[in-house]
Amino acid sequence: MKKITKIASVTMYIVLLLTVVFTVLTLVGGSVEGDTNETPVYLDTLMNFTYVLVGATLGILILFEIFHVVTNPANAKRTAINLVIVAAVIGVARMMADGTPLKIIGYEGSDNVPSMLILTDVGLYVFYILFGVTLATILFAEISKNFK
């Protein structure tokens, strides 16, 4: 167990160092020449690093959950309930999403299409819903302490 903790700690510091380096490069690395907007030179590198981190996190999460279900089959019901709740939150966010193209002056890019707008809306609404639930849970926990 001590070896796993050591590996996790070293990995965390390496990822933290890489994140700081990529962030500093993005902030002070200059901007792309000839671009109408100030786009940092290293923005793509930072975004790709972020995608790798999110993908690795999801992969590890899925592997550990599969391992947990295999080693503790009695807890599979809890995992199924959590998946249904996540699917319900995403479903509600999808119903709230709007794919109407935006009228952006001077924007000629390819991302102002219904599919991208809906995807963005779903992400934002999922964030809003989860933030609201988190805030309500914190408030409930703090207020319920006073009545015990």
pLDDT tens-digit series, residues 77-101: 888 898 999 999 999 999 999 988 8
Residue 107 in 3-state DSSP? coil
Q: What are phi and psi of 49, to 5 degrees?
A: -60, -40
Phi, psi of 33 (to 5 degrees): -75, 140
Question: Can you read off the two tokens belonging to residue 135?
Answer: 């805030």
* Per-residue pLDDT reduced to its tens digit, 11-23: 999 999 999 999 9
- In this predicted structure, the answer to whether residue 34 has a pLDDT above a threshold of 80 is no
With residue 64 as reference, give the H or E element that holds it: helix 43-71
pLDDT at residue 124, as a whole number: 96
- Burial code (b: 16+ CB inside 10 Å, e: under 16) for 17-44 equals eeeeebeebbeeeeeeeeeeeeebebee
Interval 35-56: pLDDT, tens: 777 788 888 889 999 999 999 9
pLDDT at 104: 86
Extents of the domains making up the chain: 1-71, 73-148
Give the whole-angstrom CA distance, residue 73 versus residue 55: 26
Nearest in space to 56 (alpha carbons), one of 25, 20, 14, 84: 14
Q: Contact, 29 vs 41, CB < 8 A?
A: yes
Decide: helix, strand or coil at residue 8: helix
Is the pLDDT score of 3 beyond 80? yes
pLDDT given for residue 139 in this prediction: 95
Q: What is the pLDDT of residue 130?
A: 96
The answer to whether the beta carbons of residues 82 and 68 sit under 8 Å apart is no
Q: Give pLDDT tens digits for 99-136.
A: 888 888 888 778 889 999 999 999 999 999 999 999 99
